Structure 1
Amino acid sequence: MKQQSQRLGTQPIPRLLANLSIPAMIGMFVMALYNVIDTLFIARGVGILGVSGVSIGFPVMMIMMAISAAVGIGGASVISRRLGENKADEADQVFGNIIFSILIVSLFGVIGAFTFLEPLLRTFGATDNIMPYAKDYLFPIMLGSIFFSFAFTTNSIIRSEGNSRFAMITMIIPAVLNIILDPIFIFGLDMGVQGASVATVISQATVSVVVLFYFLNGKSSLNLQLAALRPQWLVIKEVLTIGMPAFIRQVSGSAMMIAINLMLIKFGGEFEVGVFGIVQKLAMFTIMPMIGVLQGMQPIIGYNYGAKNYLRLKETVSLGLKVVTFISFGIFLLMMTFPEGLMMIFSGDTATIETGAQAIRIMFALAMLIGAQVVSGGLYQALGMARPALILSMARQVLFLIPLVLILPYFFGVIGVWLAFPISDLLAFVLSMVFLWKDKDLFFKSKSDTKKYEPATTS
């Protein structure tokens, strides 16, 4: 086993969490920056209808990412625990089955590009004015689904073995390439929204080649072998069971966007869909640092749980919760203080700025509660506890946000869509605290307690 994996059980927790989280945060920050700049170029180069088209098409892309997340994050949890148990051969078998799953998923993406793309977009709320932009953006991405699936999935695998720096690099490479290629394709080649999509596919293809060489050149703790590609259904079942919360979280994010777009079209119009497209990219930008912290925590938690080192697990949870709570308060202050300035980055239109600023202030009114929600579901996922991880992953978007989005606009109009966000944050936070309190003896136990602990929520 390589040193990058062994340090998960030996290095001091504050230093280890920093070493794993900071690269993840940087990588997520750059990826979020790319999403923001991508939207900026589309808003400035195509207009608010172009942003609306991307907003309508983005849920389809999120479904592709959801499947990759289920395979990648579920596989990362299994692999980190196998490495913690010193079962390197079994970790290699899991990795091979993950690659097999990626190939199958990608095939469906390509088939979908030629068969049901337009009916799907129509179902998701595309109007006649938005449809051309949505199709132009999504068609190349579905053709290149192999690159998205491979890059997205293997990033989680690389992080699971403790190589956070290379995981960061695999996020930075496509983001930087995309930022460079976007103006060339959108403005230079006058390809509009499709130019942004083509730039994204090229960027993901490039990083996929880099990652493939990483695994083939022996730099990983894992070995990629042809024999391991043979599907073992028990392995795939374990990966997908643990990865299901990540799948639910991503799919519920897609369902959330569909519900929001439909209600904005019903109670507002195409203009509001475009405004939400901008605000949603800003929201992704703000949550990325907390996801980076979680990604740094998960391999530490999974490895030490597998090694039965519960004191290190507890220390990781306590420190991680403090960090994400601090970040959450920073996000709250930023969004309450400078919403107009953030919107002015994307548009000089007064109506767009005013509508977007109002939406930001309402949506982020309880942003200080987001950090605990992000971490809680990820903790159970890292431990391989699918049931609580699934419930917490579904809570904010499926149990609370989507129903509120579908109900509140009938009473408050478009404002009801924005109000659904802080109410959902509050309810999801309370539920997260209930779960963490039930398993407080695992996550927050006394340092003098070194006995093995079986959490209450596994039953």
Structure 2
Amino acid sequence: MNKKKLVDMTRGPIVPQIIHFTLPLIIGNFFVLTYNAVDSIIVGRYIGANALAALGAASPVMNVLLFLIIGICLGMSVLMGRFFGEQDFTKLKRVVSTSFIAGGVFTLVLVALGFLFSKTILLFLNIPLAILDDATTYLQIIFIGLVFTFIYHIYASTLRSMGNSKASLYFLIASALLNVVLDLLFVVV
């Protein structure tokens, strides 16, 4: 590991370090909120009310999945942060690789099951039949996207566990802007 790029939050004044660490997290939350807002605005404006209702119907399932993946990644980062703080890079590397493998396998199983049972999940939630097909398609796309969601969150959690909260913010800004462009391209055009 390049020791020049590592952030040691155990030395120096704590308040500036906390501000320096949390400010990118707060800004990042703003960009996370833009995902659903932009999707809703573009779908509602250019496709119609049923498509917007389908998007809204799939949102609770999507949020549960997102929180599940974020929770798993944050849980894994606790061990990463511990071993990083102890400067035990052998254990840190083992935890990082185990996290990637275990989390990746879990995500792939979740994607496969979710993709196959999307319609069943939505029927269980009493989604109106008029929007069921659109909501199922949207939810299946969300399930496929969980692979990329996991990759982002495991990398971001790993970096944050080592004191770097800026790198994930830059990626989040770029992906939020890309989301707007791709929404316009695939929905409007």
Structure 2 residue aligned with 1:89: 90
Structure 1 residue aligned with 2:32: 31
The answer as to 2:183 corresponding to 1:182 is yes
TM-aligned CA deviation for residue 174 of structure 1? 1.3
Structure 1 residue aligned with 2:152: 151
Take 2:124 and 2:91, find their aligned partners in 1: how far apart are those partners? 43
Structure 2 residue aligned with 1:336: none
TM norm structure 1: 0.39
> Which amino acid in structure 2 is aligned with residue 179 of structure 1?
V
> Which amino acid in structure 1 is aligned with residue 143 of structure 2?
M
Larger Rg: 1
Take 2:99 and 2:67, find their aligned partners in 1: how far apart are those partners? 14
> Which amino acid in structure 2 is aligned with residue 86 of structure 1?
Q
For the 8 Å contact 2:114–2:140, the answer to whether it is kept is: yes
- Classify 1:3/1:18 alpha carbon distance in 2 versus 1 (closer, same or farther; 3 Å): farther
- Classify 1:113/1:77 alpha carbon distance in 2 versus 1 (closer, same or farther; 3 Å): closer
Take 2:123 and 2:104, find their aligned partners in 1: how far apart are those partners? 28
> Which amino acid in structure 2 is aligned with residue 133 of structure 1?
D
For the 8 Å contact 1:43–1:51, the answer to whether it is kept is: yes
Take 1:117 and 1:78, find their aligned partners in 2: how far apart are those partners? 33
- Classify 1:6/1:147 alpha carbon distance in 2 versus 1 (closer, same or farther; 3 Å): closer
For the 8 Å contact 1:41–1:182, the answer to whether it is kept is: yes
> Which amino acid in structure 2 is aligned with residue 172 of structure 1?
I
Structure 2 residue aligned with 1:51: 52
- Classify 1:4/1:124 alpha carbon distance in 2 versus 1 (closer, same or farther; 3 Å): farther
Q: How does 1:10-409 map to 2 (within 5 A)?
A: 10-188=11-189
For the 8 Å contact 2:156–2:165, the answer to whether it is kept is: no
Take 1:58 and 1:101, find their aligned partners in 2: how far apart are those partners? 26
Structure 1 runs (4+) greater than 3 angstroms displaced: 3-6
Which string of whole-angstrom CA distances, capped at 9 and with x for unpartnered residues, describes residues 164-188 of structure 1?
Answer: 1102112112111001111111110
Name the structure, 1 or 2, with higher relative contact order (CA <8 Å, separation 6+): 2
Take 1:81 and 1:4, find their aligned partners in 2: how far apart are those partners? 18
TM-aligned CA deviation for residue 95 of structure 1? 0.6
Which string of whole-angstrom CA distances, capped at 9 and with x for unpartnered residues, describes residues 388-434 of structure 1?
Answer: xxxxxxxxxxxxxxxxxxxxxxxxxxxxxxxxxxxxxxxxxxxxxxx
TM-aligned CA deviation for residue 113 of structure 1? 4.7
TM-aligned CA deviation for residue 3 of structure 1? 4.5
For the 8 Å contact 1:61–1:138, the answer to whether it is kept is: yes
Identity %: 24
For the 8 Å contact 2:107–2:150, the answer to whether it is kept is: yes
- Classify 1:128/1:5 alpha carbon distance in 2 versus 1 (closer, same or farther; 3 Å): same
User: Which ranges in structure 2 are unaligned for 5 or more consecutive residues?
Assistant: none
TM-aligned CA deviation for residue 60 of structure 1? 2.4
> Which amino acid in structure 2 is aligned with residue 80 of structure 1?
G
For the 8 Å contact 1:67–1:105, the answer to whether it is kept is: no
